[in-house]
Amino acid sequence: MFSARTYDRASFSARSASSDHRFRFVEARLTTDTAALAEGSQAVCAFVNDDLSDAVLVQLAAAGVRHLALRSAGYNHVDLDTAARLGLSVVRVPAYSPNAVAEHTIALILAVNRHIPRAHDRVRDRNFSLEGLVGFDLSGKTVGVIGTGKIGALVARLLWHFRCNVIAADPVVDPGLVELGVTYVALDDLWPRCDIISLNAPLLDSTHHLVNASTIARCKRGVMMVNTGRGPLVDTAAVVEALKSGQIGSLALDVYEEERTLFFEDRSSDILDDDVFARLLTFPNVLITAHQAFLTEEALAAIAEVTIANLDDLAAGRPCANAVTA
Ligand code: NAI
């Protein structure tokens, strides 16, 4: 298991004892430099920022690896064509806890709107001034949810309970949301109507840089943008310009376009060489968490359970319901 953190060890160790699988936990990210560590393993268990490109898959196959067990729902980081060519089977965890991600999305919206991190810092510093901490009522605001699959549908429901007017864009309509009062609109029509936009679509060719200079220009001035989907849904450079001009009023991110070389590590002693990310950190109206929306006890338990069940299927040569193909 690559990119294995203490919480991964804990959740997998608790469950693997009663299985036929033996895990070797490696803290390093999977890259061409670390792929050789998989020598002697039948399967590699990888997370979102592990490198599963052509070059790495070729190395893994040469080391004898037959299976890739993703601890994630998203598989945009896997070269599926190469995996198929090399006979590597790929399995994933399609839904470990949509609640975890949806609830974190709401936490970000509330926290950036009401300036909670800044307020907490001030109070700790015994600065009890409220200057600059004005937020807005969520009640009555129009929120656009882009992508109403498992996570987006929950985000829409939670926002509905905040008495927001929820509109959605997704080629697949969720009848339960329509029944609740959510209105589906064409993506093109969503931008100008929203006070808040939540990105919950997967990263595909068609969704890459969905938020860009021209779509931002079509938004209401001062819109709040929230991304808990995938970093490249957003053209970050365009977002920085829009924050500077005030076109985007606030921004909350759990994912970042270039997060692969940043997130999941303690970089507090390093010189930050990503100027775009460094600029984002200077805005008082930007809140960033480092891809932690999934991180709940329930989600970790589900990831371990489903991954072990996936490995059971692969080891037994059974078809796996969570197989991913090109
Ligand atoms: P899902 O597959 O259930 O739903 C995705 C929805 O997006 C589908 O309804 C699909 O029709 C829609 N969609 C596809 N293309 C679209 C487009 N061009 N415009 C609007 N909608 C479009 O996936 P789920 O479980 O809801 O997850 C969504 C994404 O959230 C994942 O792909 C992943 O990237 C991200 N995620 C982030 C996590 C985090 O920790 N920040 C954890 C888990 C997932």
CATH of the domain at 63: 3.40.50.720
Both 115 and 209 in a single domain?
A: yes
Residue 326 has pLDDT above 90, yes or no: no
Q: Is residue 270 part of a domain?
A: yes
Mean pLDDT of 229-254: 98
Distance 105 CA to ligand 1 centre (A): 13
d(C-alpha 143, C-alpha 152), whole Å: 12
Buried b (16+ CB within 10 A) or exposed e, 283-316: eebbbbbebebbbbeebbbbbbebbbbbbebbee
Percent of the chain with pLDDT over 90: 95
Best residue among 49, 70, 101, 190 to mutate for probing ligand 1's pocket (most ligand atoms within 8 Å of CB) is 101
Q: Is 190 in the pocket of ligand 1 (CB under 6 A)?
A: no
**pLDDT value at residue 179:** 98
Q: Is 293 in the pocket of ligand 1 (CB under 6 A)?
A: yes
Both 231 and 91 in a single domain?
A: no
What is the average pLDDT value for the chain, to the nearest integer?
97
Report which protein residue has its CA nearest ligand 1's atom 5: 149
Both 131 and 57 in a single domain?
A: no
Mean pLDDT of 74-89: 95
d(C-alpha 282, C-alpha 280), whole Å: 5
Q: Is residue 52 part of a domain?
A: yes
Both 107 and 224 in a single domain?
A: yes
17 Cβ contact list (under 8 Å, min separation 6): none
- pLDDT tens, residue by residue, 311-324: 999 999 999 999 99
Both 88 and 219 in a single domain?
A: no
Q: Which atom of ligand 1 is nearest to the CA of 146?
A: 20
Q: Would the pTM count as exceeding 0.85?
A: yes
Domain that holds residue 59: 6-96+296-324
Report how many domains make up the chain. Answer: 2
Both 88 and 104 in a single domain?
A: no
Active site residues: 230, 259, 291
Q: Is residue 1 part of a domain?
A: no
